A and B are shown apart, each in its own frame.
Chain A
């Protein structure tokens, strides 16, 4: 029963996977596939976030809180 449940779960998860062949990487090169399609906007948002939350560097770099960076 446990095995069947595991298999069902695996089938559900594996169905979401797709092989991307080397010659299909044009799909990965699309703007929408980027981790951060708009780096300028993300930088501005991060700056606002760290100012409002008083958490400088909280989004990426360690440290912050002491106001010394």
Chain B
């Protein structure tokens, strides 16, 4: 009987393991929010440094992170940096309203079935995963403050200097 209860409890909890630094980045693939008809996948950016950012319109710190990430992307795109924004809004309309106020130039992808969020086991909004040129997660940022922005800038600079 005790075993049955334990099984019920385990079934109710989430079993996925959170992605931490050192782990290979799970795949993200889906339709682009910012370019209808096109799709995007994380694995196609192998050889580049990728910052994967899970965001939503209801996430208050995302209002700080978006301008910072956009300026990072604009500055280091030519050196091999890609920023992918994974949207976690319930409706696309919510996301569009947010983007009208804080427009960004980096690619955005929807995650309607929660596949990407579940694969990364996102614990906080926003969560940022810095992936190196070999596809390995090197740094995880949970939450976002102005200091986080400065730290990411340095980490990206170091990763861009690594050979692919």
- Which A positions have Cβ atoms within 8 angstroms of B? 3, 7, 11, 14, 17, 19, 21-27, 29-30
Q: Closest approach, in angstroms, between the C-beta of A23 and any C-beta of chain B?
A: 4
Q: Are B114 and A21 in contact (CB under 8 A)?
A: yes
Which one of B74-82, B88-96, B146-154 is at the A interface? Answer: B88-96
Instruction: Closest B residue to A4 by CB, please name it.
Output: B1
Is B13 positioned at the interface, with any CB of A under 8 Å from its CB? yes
Is B54 positioned at the interface, with any CB of A under 8 Å from its CB? yes
Q: Are A22 and B12 in contact (CB under 8 A)?
A: no
Tell which of A3, A17, A23, A29 touches B117, judged by Cβ atoms closer than 8 Å: A23
Is B123 positioned at the interface, with any CB of A under 8 Å from its CB? yes
Instruction: Closest B residue to A15 by CB, please name it.
Output: B12
List of A residues within 8 angstroms of B12 by Cβ: 14, 17, 19
> What's the Cα separation between A59 and B79 when bound, in Å?
62
How many interface contacts (CB-CB < 8 Å) are there between A and B? 42
> What's the Cα separation between A30 and B93 when bound, in Å?
13
Tell which of B89, B94, B125 touches A22, judged by Cβ atoms closer than 8 Å: B125
Tell which of A11, A19, A25 touches B13, judged by Cβ atoms closer than 8 Å: A19
- Which B positions have Cβ atoms within 8 angstroms of A? 1, 4-5, 8, 12-14, 54, 56-58, 88-90, 94, 114, 117-118, 122-125
Q: Closest approach, in angstroms, between the C-beta of A53 and any C-beta of chain B?
A: 38
Q: Which of B13, B14, B56, B114 has the most CB of A within 10 A?
A: B56
Q: Closest approach, in angstroms, between the C-beta of B121 and any C-beta of chain A?
A: 9
Q: Are A24 and B1 in contact (CB under 8 A)?
A: no
> What's the Cα separation between A10 and B125 when bound, in Å?
32
List of B residues within 8 angstroms of A27 by Cβ: 90
